Structure 1
Amino acid sequence: MTQSPQDAASARISGVFSQKKTAKIGTGTTARKTEVVTYFLVCERDDGQLDVQALTADDQPFGPKKQIGRDELLANYFPEPQKTLARQVSALSPKEMEIQKAVARGDKFRKRGESFTAEFEYNKALALDMGNVRANFGIGLCYIARGEQAKAREVFERVVHLDAAFQDEHKHLFNEFGINLRKAGMHDEAQEYYRRALDLSSEDENLHYNLARAAFGKGDVKAAAQALAACLALNPEHAEARQFVDYLKRKKNPDS
């Protein structure tokens, strides 16, 4: 018996799902772990792939869509049948449009080197959604570029607790932010940044390598060596990590 197109459409997945992750808040003796729940709107497409889009605090779809398969959905997401959207949105709401426009303008000005104008635009986006990943990354990069480390640290504290900041869709900004933290001499923040990323993706050898660079920048050779060992355990052919290990060996034994 074949399934009619109408039956197939009605069997498609469409609804709210969640992800639960443990986040570390604070450092040192004040550090504690808390469970963070993020909600997503999931809609199945004609080709069987699933569009996954984050939901804001007021249950509005926001940000780019990620495509996944059913296996990944079942493995990493939990259905939330009791949580229904106030309305089904096929397009961005006026608020979402305003946020995206402000962020886009901020990105444009930042790339031109007009950091104060970019900051103004990012702040407009953050006034509407303090958790907007692109706006947080953007304004943080403005502060770092201007050497305003106190303000950059405030942004860092927000970013490091946003799960979405460490997702693949923000990979370019994630990398740029981490590199700039290190280059600005904010080595403690850079190390915490990469450790936070490793909490969510411990099998990424590049994160271990970047952690090693941040640790070395602070002068902690032992921590750098440990991070490099973790990197090479995951990928023994990681060229940069092998070169870094050789450099540390020559530095320790200059006559060898």
Structure 2
Amino acid sequence: MSQENQINGIFSLKTAVTVGFGVTKRTAQSETYWFVKEIEDNAFDVQSLDMDFKRQGAPFRITREKLFEDYHLEPDLSYRLLSQPLLVGDHYRASNKPASAEQEYLKIKRIDEDNIRANFGLGLVYLAMDKTEKASYIFDRLVRLEEAFEPRHKHLFNEFGINLRKKGLFDEALKYYFRARELSPTDDHLLLNIARVYYEQRNLAEAEKTAREALAINPDLAEARRLLERIWDTPPRIELPPIKI
């Protein structure tokens, strides 16, 4: 299910509790906070949040009817703890302040560990900071999340794949692109990016084959033609010039 249409956010649950004893006994309202994530049409995972709004305990599943009957959406908290850090993190990343961006993305992951945009942001930040081990961890998480390859995330997806290649993480880049190809087998730009990785690996035969596949889908893809020209003009014995794109 697309995250775009999911119900994800912070909800509150108000329950009546009895406090005191004897003549001091009374009923009071207890309010707790929960992170709710829609899993499928009529199934929601609910996980308790502690006083610092960190996840605690194991999540459990409820129905849509139960959610709207017992829980109340907290839009202000959802914005302050989930949406706003994402906007701030993206701003810091665009401003070349990766350490500050990292802190904002981590705020989101304390609550929503599988948040696609936060994971992409963290992966890009770790690559920018040359923290390849942490970037690889994020990469492993992203390739398991089908939502990461949805069209609305395409700009982040492309940026992440390109940065994997530029950092010399060719095997990770190929694994990443092959996962995307399972979900979008006729994406000409995806095939072009795979061809670029093969070119960087000095695997000219596969680079040419994949670039031709991209052109078969889109004969007007000029970047694929330029890559083919570079392949044809570069004998395998000569050091290959790096791709600038």
Calculate the TM-score normalised by the size of structure 2.
0.68
- Greater C-alpha radius of gyration: 2
Query: C-alpha displacement at 1:139, in angstroms?
Result: 0.9
Counterpart pick for 2:6 among 51, 54, 79: 54
Alignment partners' CA distance in 1, 2:219 and 2:74: 45
Q: Secondary structure at the match of 1:128?
A: coil
Q: Does 1:96 align with 2:78?
A: yes
Query: C-alpha displacement at 1:61, in angstroms?
Result: 6.0
Q: Does 1:87 align with 2:68?
A: yes
What is residue 122 of structure 1 aligned with on the other side? 105
Task: Name whichever structure is richer in strand by fraction.
Answer: 2
Q: Does 1:184 align with 2:184?
A: no
Q: For each residue in 1:95-131, what CA deviation from the matched residue of structure 2 results, as whole angstroms up to 9, or x when unmatched? A: 5321111111111111222211111111110111111
What is residue 132 of structure 2 aligned with on the other side? 149
Q: Secondary structure at the match of 1:211?
A: helix
The answer on whether the counterparts of 1:143 and 1:149 sit within 8 Å (CA) in structure 2 is: yes
Which 10-residue stretch deviates more, 214-223 or 187-196? 214-223
Alignment partners' CA distance in 2, 1:134 and 1:39: 13
What is residue 164 of structure 1 aligned with on the other side? 147
The answer on whether the counterparts of 2:177 and 2:194 sit within 8 Å (CA) in structure 1 is: yes
Q: Does 1:138 align with 2:118?
A: no
Alignment partners' CA distance in 2, 1:79 and 1:61: 7
Q: Does 1:208 align with 2:191?
A: yes
Q: For each residue in 1:21-75, what CA deviation from the matched residue of structure 2 results, as whole angstroms up to 9, or x when unmatched? A: xxxxxxxxxxxxxxxxx377xxxxxxxxxxx60345975469xxxxxxxxxxxxx
- What is the percentage of aligned positions where both structures have the same residue? 34
- Residues 171 and 92 from structure 1, CA distance in 2 versus in 1: closer, same or farther, beyond 3 angstroms? farther
How many residues align? The count is: 191
- Residues 108 and 90 from structure 1, CA distance in 2 versus in 1: closer, same or farther, beyond 3 angstroms? farther
List alignment gaps of at least 5 residues for structure 2.
10-34, 44-61, 238-245
1:63-74 superposed matches below 5 A: none
The answer on whether the counterparts of 1:188 and 1:218 sit within 8 Å (CA) in structure 2 is: no
Which 10-residue stretch deviates more, 119-128 or 172-181? 172-181
The answer on whether the counterparts of 1:141 and 1:180 sit within 8 Å (CA) in structure 2 is: yes
Q: Secondary structure at the match of 1:153?
A: helix
Q: Secondary structure at the match of 1:87?
A: helix
